[in-house]
């Protein structure tokens, strides 16, 4: 009697679970939707811009740190499912605590930033590591799909809080709108991550997709294929790790800065530069005329919110497109082109993005598209350069670049914003304060492009 083969999970279910999980983890990119309420003069919180960016930066730092030190090693030791489940519980708990305790800056810093960020860090590495093992033949595309939910999720949480809901204007348990939104999101995140965790399991040992044969390593090739395995310590001993790491710091940090400040920049720049049409009725003739006037704060805020939502949509699209493109043209050239384009766009962003609501949205889409590429290209490049087997732990360390960039760049922007606010005349802020951070972002992205093109696949030392 022939021996029956054990049933293997349909690997596309892993992608479904990954997207569900990442939709929730993308909440961190929706942070700008709260900053207007948090900094509102005479409002419930009256935080400074720097304080709002500090909460965001804490979330990014906890995200990256927990992923490197706990999430990556733990999922390798105990399997991906338990790590994903724990991440969902911690993320949901952070937001629920933020709902009931988050009246002060420090409470939000700890609950939303530290605890919520830690939950994201635990769960984030799981779909990436699991996807690399189920899809060695389509790493770029699957990495893009696995993390696309992160970008699309931000759009959902932004719109639910602001224009679809709007949750920010409701009150649960007598809590202000921001904290009420935290509570609803905490429950939703908890449930969806637990559902997605059902399919976060590794393939059987030695399993390969039908018809797929791993390529043999080719010394001197321009792109590696993940056939040579490096441990974390071996990876640390290569210059390629530090080259990719620096590139990731500069590229991701710039995108994170824009996420954190796009609404604040849009409000300042559009009020100063953009026009809006209003209808005026002549009382004598009764005729209605269109008159162009300076954009109001409310209209500028709505336009900036729309740009932020489109940023998130293109963030998700960029992950899929850049990942798929990199499977065809190679990871190194893809990273180079992404950073080069981002650098050019950032240098132009202040001048073009602040001119009108349409141009702000267009530039936000371009930046979001390139920024999203980071999260398909760098995990795939880590797997290519240092092996598929250890990508969970190795990428955890590579991802510390995201935390460093996420601390530095948003705080730079927050510093310039607060400095301009202190010099405001009758509450009107000079939007030129935003020029410096955008130039800094453009320059470091161009530097990242140069570093990335110099990196060659590492060769493992033999005894």
Percent of the chain's residues with pLDDT above 90? 30
264 vs 374 pLDDT, higher one:
374
2-to-5, 189, 205, 241 alpha-carbon distances in Å: 9, 46, 21, 48
Structural domain tally of the chain?
1
φ and ψ at 425, to 5 degrees?
-105, 115
Q: Could you tell me the residue range of the domain that residue 417 belongs to?
A: 11-204+230-454
Residues 6+ apart with CB under 8 A from 152: 23, 26, 312, 313, 315, 316
Determine the pLDDT at residue 4. 44
Determine the pLDDT at residue 81. 93
Lowest mean pLDDT: which of 174-183, 404-413, 441-450? 404-413
Determine the pLDDT at residue 424. 59
Is the overall model pTM greater than 0.75, yes or no? no
Residue 456 — pLDDT band, cuts 50, 70, 90? confident
Please state the rounded mean pLDDT for residues 143-168. Answer: 79
Please state the rounded mean pLDDT for residues 437-452. Answer: 92
Triad 346, 250, 105: Cα angle to 5°? 90
Residue 167 — pLDDT band, cuts 50, 70, 90? confident
Please state the rounded mean pLDDT for residues 49-59. Answer: 87
Is 218 part of a structural domain of the chain? no
pLDDT digits (tens, 9 = 90+) for 280-305: 666 767 677 666 567 787 888 888 88
Mean pLDDT highest for which of 84-88, 217-221, 225-229?
84-88
pLDDT digits (tens, 9 = 90+) for 126-136: 988 888 788 87
pLDDT digits (tens, 9 = 90+) for 381-427: 998 898 877 887 888 889 888 878 877 777 777 777 676 666 655 55
Is 462 part of a structural domain of the chain? no
Is 221 part of a structural domain of the chain? no
Q: What average pLDDT does the structure give for the chain?
A: 84
375 vs 72 pLDDT, higher one:
375
CATH of the domain at 97: 1.20.1250.20
Determine the pLDDT at residue 286. 67
In the predicted structure, residue 3 carries a pLDDT above the cut 50? no
Determine the Cα–Cα distance for residues 253 and 378; give it in Å rounded to an integer: 14
Residue 170 β-bridge partners: none
Angle between helices 357-386 and 239-273 (to 10 degrees): 170
């Amino acid at each position: 009697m022939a021996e029956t083969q054990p049933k293997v999970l349909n690997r596309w279910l892993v992608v479904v679970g990954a997207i569900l999980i990442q939709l929730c983890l993308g909440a961190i990119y929706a942070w700008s939707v709260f900053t207007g309420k948090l900094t509102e003069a005479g409002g419930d919180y009256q935080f400074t811009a720097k304080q709002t960016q500090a909460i965001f930066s804490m979330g990014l730092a906890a995200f990256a740190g927990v992923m490197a030190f706990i999430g990556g090693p733990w999922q390798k030791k105990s399997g991906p499912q338990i790590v994903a489940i724990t991440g969902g519980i911690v993320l949901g708990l952070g937001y629920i605590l933020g709902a009931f305790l988050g009246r002060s800056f420090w409470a939000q810093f700890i609950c939303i930033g530290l605890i919520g960020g830690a939950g994201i860090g635990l769960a984030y590495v799981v779909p990436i590591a699991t996807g690399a093992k189920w899809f060695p033949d389509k790493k770029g595309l699957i990495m893009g799909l696995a993390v696309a939910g992160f970008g699309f999720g931000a759009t959902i949480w932004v719109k639910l809080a602001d224009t679809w809901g709007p949750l920010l204007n409701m009150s649960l348990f007598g809590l202000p709108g921001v904290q009420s939104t935290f509570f609803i999101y905490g429950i939703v995140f908890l449930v969806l991550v637990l559902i997605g965790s059902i399919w976060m399991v590794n393939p059987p040992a030695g399993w390969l997709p039908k018809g797929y044969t791993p390529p043999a390593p080719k010394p001197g090739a321009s792109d590696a294929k993940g056939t040579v395995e490096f441990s974390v310590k071996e990876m640390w001993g290569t210059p390629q790790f530090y080259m990719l790491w620096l590139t990731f710091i500069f590229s991701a940090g710039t995108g994170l800065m824009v996420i954190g400040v796009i609404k604040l920049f849009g409000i300042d720049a559009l009020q100063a530069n953009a026009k809006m049409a209003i209808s005026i009725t002549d009382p004598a003739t009764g005729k209605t005329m269109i008159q162009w006037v300076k954009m109001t704060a409310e209209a500028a805020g709505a336009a900036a919110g729309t740009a932020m939502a489109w940023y998130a949509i293109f963030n998700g699209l960029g992950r899929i497109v850049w990942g798929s493109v990199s499977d065809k043209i190679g990871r190194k050239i893809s990273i180079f082109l992404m950073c080069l384009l981002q650098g050019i766009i950032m240098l132009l962003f202040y001048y073009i993005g602040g001119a009108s609501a349409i141009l702000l949205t267009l530039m936000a889409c371009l930046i979001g598209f390139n920024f999203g590429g980071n999260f398909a290209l760098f995990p795939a490049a880590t797997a290519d350069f240092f092996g598929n087997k250890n990508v969970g732990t190795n990428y955890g360390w590579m991802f510390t670049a995201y935390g460093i960039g996420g601390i530095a760049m948003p705080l730079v922007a927050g510093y310039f914003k607060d400095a301009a606010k202190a010099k405001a005349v009758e509450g009107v802020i000079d939007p030129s304060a935003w020029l410096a951070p955008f130039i800094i972002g453009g320059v470091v992205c161009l530097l990242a492009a140069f570093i990335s093109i110099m990196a060659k696949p590492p060769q493992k030392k033999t005894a």
